[in-house]
Amino acid sequence: GNSVTQMEGPVTLSEEAFLTINCTYTATGYPSLFWYVQYPGEGLQLLLKATKADDKGSNKGFEATYRKETTSFHLEKGSVQVSDSAVYFCALSDQNTDKLIFGTGTRLQVFP
């Protein structure tokens, strides 16, 4: 079945450091891929998405590229801020049912 695997956290960085959170997926067909972010005490917000191979999603300085050859959708940011501290979820959208299948989430902690 479809699944998403994310790197385990927490990821701890100093402000202005480079961020990578790895995400790989297993799916039949051509799913859409998403990164959602959950700030403390809040619901999930869509951060970025990509709907086909080689698409790059970007938002708020975060980027991720849909790599079909490596079945990956790694999240990157060149310079993190304290306000980026949150839990980040990689997800894919099942083509047949539209349900989202989430990875386990990766907690990012950014210190000044």
Identify which of residues 10 and 78 has a Cβ nearer to other proteins in the complex: 10
Nearer to other proteins, 29 or 112 (CB): 29
Min separation Cβ 79 and other proteins, Å = 26
Reduced to 3 states (helix: H, G, I; strand: E, B; else coil), residue 82 is helix
CB-side neighbour CA atoms (13 Å) of 49:
10
Cis check for the bond before 40: say yes or no (omega within 30 of 0). Answer: no
Q: Using CB under 8 A, list all residues that contact other proteins.
A: 32, 34, 36, 38, 42-46, 49, 51, 87, 89, 93, 97-102, 104-105, 107
Amino acid found at 67: R
